[in-house]
Structure 1
């Protein structure tokens, strides 16, 4: 292997690994706060990428209608939950959050000309369409099961993944789409050409890590999330609203997924089911990081990207097997290192 091929493989590995790092960070965030192994994280990536591609084409993205459907479902669940002690103020608050917000976003998308927006404007509109889905998804599927076992939450997560993949097929169709880059052009570093979109990916991953560190270490809400992760019952006893922290974690995960979709959309063609495989590779990084550490997860995800790049060169037919086999020695080591404990 000559140095040029080696440099290109490293570049591809780092670019893919940066995306997997974003997904791994989102998975660790959700699991730390809610104990949910969030398998549908990849669907947020798919929705973000397909939404951006639809906006680039000047079409109304399917996520606009899907967001309204999610909001209506969340509103009906809230009304049913408090049906015996329904108060006008609570009803108005629920209507604003679950009905007015998605309808307002839908109206903005319908009224403006998406194709006339600059790339950054389309990206921000994409994030605005995807971010509330995290809150509504938590309200519909996971908040009623907040105190359930990890196994029940995992089964629910699998069901949500299948539902979201089917909804993606219904609202976007089976045709693959590709978006426009946030910034055109290519820069040469030494003898290696690096696209501006790749620089966006690297910078966003670094910014996400720094932002999550600042959020958890320096803000009251971040500290509340950490307290909920450490002891859910104890957090309730000291007055932390665990429902709020769970919803916040899912919104952040949806934002990270949407950003990942915006970044990956110009790089490869995205189909309605593409996000599942990407989410699994982010999950491999999260497992290697112990589903606990953000920096270790990011480094492990970069390693996953590098392994995938070199595996695709030396054994392209087995690259997926090689990538997913990475978790086997880690799971074996953790199983042997962990002492016996009573099952919850």
Structure 2
């Protein structure tokens, strides 16, 4: 491996690691507050740009979608409507949810009729955003005292459901989307897509935003309290359910915006979310699913190891990346002296 190959691999590692870092941050946030490993996070990442494709003219997207409302809008509206039914004991809250469901469909209808690209970009994020909190309310909150294993089983089931719906909504093909910032910039000897700099900028902004949110805002401190001790937080008047909605909403927002920025670089398809989310999960595991800085470091390690594995043996690239879990899990099992039945 010479310096040229190393430089290209390093550039790709930073780009991949940044995406995994965003997903790892979202996963750690959700797990810390709710003890849910949000496996469908990768689906939220690809749903946003695939929804955006429906808001672009055929000359830009290369697809004849005919002004259709994307299936993600109907999915979000349906989940919000079911949520409203569950809240029928609180008429004002139920009415707000029904209005939100109608608003999602209205936004998608406006976007499908043709809007400027910047507005379609925003509408796509808003259409996907309710999926996170609604998923928490409908599938996880009813079993709020379940174990992490039960939550994981539910999350895996949601992943398969959302992935199957993605195939129905968008088909098997990849979508080519326009870049927000086109062109390339040469860094050293490596040409880097300008779109990648937007991904890096959003990652820095997300990390800084989460830091100030958790250290300076009342809602952020409430989420930290729920992460440390849910029962103690409830005694102090903090609602774990509200904390769950907020954490799922923030995680969905981070993944949706990351997907929108990443889309011009990968040409998204319905099936790509799973591997991206799984590698973000590996990064989170390397950070212990408790530390945001360690999750970012773990993401960069995953990104670098993935590029090295692809260079050494492309056929086993993904398998080698997932093998990073083995020494971490072994180390954690050796440190743990608890017996499951006693716990």
TM range (shorter): over 0.9
* Residue of 261, 267, 276 corresponding to 1:263: 261
Contact preservation (8 Å) 2:28, 2:290? yes
RMSD: 1.6
Give the Cα–Cα distance (whole angstroms) in 2 for the partners of residues 148 and 116 of structure 1: 44
Which of 161, 165, 168 pairs up with 2:166?
Answer: 168
**Structure 1's 43 and 11: CA in aligned 2 closer, same or farther, altered over 3 A?**
same
1:1-344 paired onto structure 2 within 5 Å: 1-57=1-57, 59=67, 60-79=69-88, 86=89, 90-96=90-96, 98-112=97-111, 115-118=114-117, 120-341=118-339, 343-344=342-343
Cα offset, 1:54, TM superposition:
2.6
Taking the aligned partners of 1:255 and 1:285, their CA distance within structure 2 comes to: 19
Residues 48, 127 of structure 1: 8 Å contact kept: yes
The 1-side partners of 2:128 and 2:112 are apart by 19
Supply the distance in 2 between the matched residues of 1:22 and 1:195 (Cα, whole angstroms).
Answer: 19
Alignment partners' CA distance in 2, 1:253 and 1:187? 30
Structure 1 residues 112 and 151: CA distance shift in structure 2, 3 A: closer
Distance 1:113 1:129, change over 3 A: closer
**TM-score scaled by structure 1?**
0.92
Q: What is the CA–CA distance in structure 2 between the aligned matches of 1:178 and 1:73, rounded to whole Å? A: 34
Cα deviations by residue, 1:40-86 (Å, 9 ceiling, x for unpaired): 1111012112112332346433212221111112112222xxxxxx3
Unaligned runs of 5+ residues in structure 2 are: 59-66
Q: CA deviation at 1:197?
A: 0.6
Paired residues of 1:114 and 1:122 also in contact (CA < 8 A): no
Distance 2:176 2:115 in 1: 18
1:42–1:278 contact (8 Å) kept in structure 2: yes
TM-score for both structures, normalised by structure 2? 0.93
Post-superposition Cα deviations, 1:134-157, rounded to whole Å, max 9, x if no partner, equal 111111101111111111111111
The offset of 1:114, in angstroms, is 6.4
Residue 66 of structure 1 contacts residue 171 of structure 1 at CA under 8 Å; is this kept in 2?
Answer: no
Aligned 8 A contact 2:38 2:155 in 1: yes
Distance (whole Å) between structure 2 residues aligned to residue 201 and residue 193 of structure 1:
16
1:115-167 CA distances to partner (integer Å, 9 max, x unpaired)? 5413x433322211111111111111011111111111111111111111122
Q: 5+ residue gaps in structure 1?
A: 80-85
The answer (yes or no) to whether the contact 1:56–1:114 under 8 Å persists in 2 is no
- For residues 198-249 of structure 1, the C-alpha deviation after alignment (integer angstroms, 9 at most, x for no partner) is 1011111111111111111111111111111111111111100111000101
Q: Assess if the C-alpha contact under 8 Å between 1:135 and 1:247 holds in 2.
A: yes
- SS class of match (2:265): coil
Looking at structure 1, the residues matched to 114 and 299 of structure 2 have their Cα atoms a distance apart, in angstroms, of 34
- Taking a change above 3 Å as real, the CA distance of residues 14 and 156 of structure 1, as seen in their structure-2 partners, is same
Change (3 A) 1:144 1:113: closer
Contact 1:174–1:272, Cα closer than 8 Å, also in 2: yes
The separation in 2 between residues aligned to 1:57 and 1:294, in whole angstroms, is 39
CA contact (8 A) 1:20 1:281 kept: yes
Give the secondary-structure state (helix, strand or coil) at the position aligned to 2:178: coil
